[in-house]
Amino acid sequence: MTTRRNSTLSRANRPDGLVDVTSCDISALEELMAGMGKERFRALQVYKWIWQRGVTDFHQMTNISKANRAELANRATIGQLVAASIQESTDGTRKYVWQCQDGSNIESVLIPDENRPGPGKPRMTLCVSTQVGCAMACTFCLTGDLGLKRNLSAGEIALQPLLVQQDIGPDVPITNIVMMGMGEPLHNSDNVVVALRNMLDEEALNFSHRRITVSTVGLIPAMKKLASDLPVNIAVSLNATTEEQRRTVMPITKRYSMEMLMQACRELPLPRAKRITFEYVMMAGFNDSMDDARRLAVLMRGVKSKVNLIPYNENPDRDIRRPSEARVKEFQNYLVNKRIHTSVRTTRGRDISAACGQLGKAAETMAKRL
Catalytic residues: 107, 356
What is the smallest separation between the CB atom of 3 and ligand SAH, expressed in angstroms? 30
Return the number of the residue (133 or 357) whose C-beta is nearest ligand SAH.
357
Q: How far apart are CA 57 and CA 79, in angstroms?
A: 10
Which is closer to ligand SAH, CB of 49 or CB of 312?
A: 312
Per CB under 6 A, 180 contacts ligand SAH: yes
CB of residue 273 to ligand SAH, shortest distance in Å = 22
**Cβ of residue 93: shortest distance to ligand SAH, in angstroms?**
14
Contact 104, 132 (CB under 8 A): yes
Residue 313 as a binder of ligand SAH (CB under 6 A): the answer is: yes
Q: Which is nearer to ligand SAH, 24 or 219 (CB)?
A: 219
> What is the DSSP track for 94-118?
EEEEEE-TTS-EEEEEEEEETT-SS
140 near ligand SAH, judged by CB under 6 A: yes
In residues, how long is the chain? 370
Span of 19-27, 50-58, 134-142, 223-231 interacting with ligand SAH by CB under 6 A: 134-142
Q: At what angle do helices 325-337 and 290-299 cross, to 10 degrees?
A: 30
Neighbouring C-alpha atoms within 13 Å toward the C-beta of 103? 5
Interaction of residue 8 with ligand SAH, rule CB under 6 A: no
Question: Least distance from C-beta 155 to ligand SAH, angstroms?
Answer: 20
- The reply on whether position 312 binds ligand SAH by CB under 6 A is yes
For ligand SAH, the binding residues in 214-273 under the rule CB under 6 A are 215-217, 237, 239
356 is an interface residue for ligand SAH by CB under 6 A: yes
Q: Is 279 in the site for ligand SAH (CB under 6 A)?
A: yes
Query: DSSP string covering 300-324, please?
Result: TTTS-EEEEEEE----TT----PPP
Q: Report the distance separating Cα 241 and Cα 243, nearest Å.
A: 7
Q: Which stretch binds ligand SAH (CB under 6 A): 23-31, 136-144, 196-204, 290-298?
A: 136-144
In the window 73-102, what residues touch ligand SAH (CB under 6 A)?
none
Q: Is the four-CA dihedral 47, 175, 351, 143 of positive or negative sign?
A: positive
Nearer to ligand SAH, 106 or 180 (CB): 180
Q: CA quadruple 123, 124, 127, 128: dihedral positive or negative?
A: negative
**235, 276 Cβ separation under 8 angstroms:** yes
Q: Name the residue type at position 198.
A: N
CB distance 239 to 280 below 8 Å:
yes
By CB under 6 A, name the binding residues for ligand SAH: 136, 140-141, 180, 184, 215-217, 237, 239, 279, 281, 310, 312-313, 356-357
